[in-house]
Amino acid sequence: MEAHAIDVRPISGALGAEIAGIDLSSALSNAAYDAIHRALLDHLVIFFRDQDLSPEQHTAFARRFGKLHIHPFVRGMDGYPHIVEVIKEKEENHHWGGSWHADVTFQAQPAMGAVLYAREVPPYGGDTMFANMYRAYETLSDGLKATLGRLRAVHYSGAPRNYSAKYRGMQPKDGEEENAVHPLVRTHPETGRKSLFIARSFTRHFEGMTEDESRPLLDFLFVHATRPEHVCRFRWQKNSIAFWDNRCTMHKAIADFHGAAHGLDQYRRVMHRVTLEGGRPV
């Protein structure tokens, strides 16, 4: 499969593109991987349909783009510690990743990205939304950009048990709470573009300020970053893949496919996630 056979189709004006004409289980040329990498940098999140991958093939694809990350609080699959099974059982009324976030920003070196593979999905619902954090920054006023450029934010993990102990299909791992301080505006190491670097799940306050003092500006930024014109929405099908650049996006799984408490339809959802290690934001 050569690079010229890859068909990149944008799915929104903000970010996101589907890539057709490629089988990720096959042996790909270096040129094909380069083209996929280019599409990721251009579109921030890329999607593939109808991919039949074993755990080994899922791992091999992700590894072409960086070192594999081991989640600090969730056990991976047996034999594949880097593959997190994100499972919502049919009778559960909560699911993983339901708030806007970038992955593991509470670590000193947050993830570069992740490759999420749909193994079992509901017939409808459970879509994932992605936000373009370049655009979130670029559409701010010059005065606010200057202010934000001087700020650093404190990111907290929260209690480790919240990541998997409350999900019946997921296995917790012993760990301690983590926190890290990052610039509020980061520069992408490959594109050189600036973006907001916040995560509603983890960003608690600005360095040197209290949470109460920080909250009004953080709330504004969270709302601004996720305005409709800054986001895209991906509808999952079995064997679909999403590969996002964690350095310039946020994402959330939409909680519209479980309703046991209200007598509504209930569905199981199983995703396999491989995360890639990143560097310290600057």
The residues annotated as belonging to the active site are 101, 103, 251, 273
From the list 279, 108, 64, 106, the residue with the least C-alpha distance to 187 is 279
- N-to-C CA span, the chain: 36
- Rounded to whole angstroms, the Cα distance separating 103 from 251 reads 9
Q: Who's near 223: CB < 8 A, 6+ residues apart?
A: none
- Rounded to whole angstroms, the Cα distance separating 182 from 197 reads 8
The torsion defined by the Cα of 146, 147, 149 and 150, in degrees rounded to 10, comes to 130
- Is 134 within 8 Å of 228 (Cβ atoms)? no
- Rounded to whole angstroms, the Cα distance separating 97 from 251 reads 8
Q: Who's near 262: CB < 8 A, 6+ residues apart?
A: none
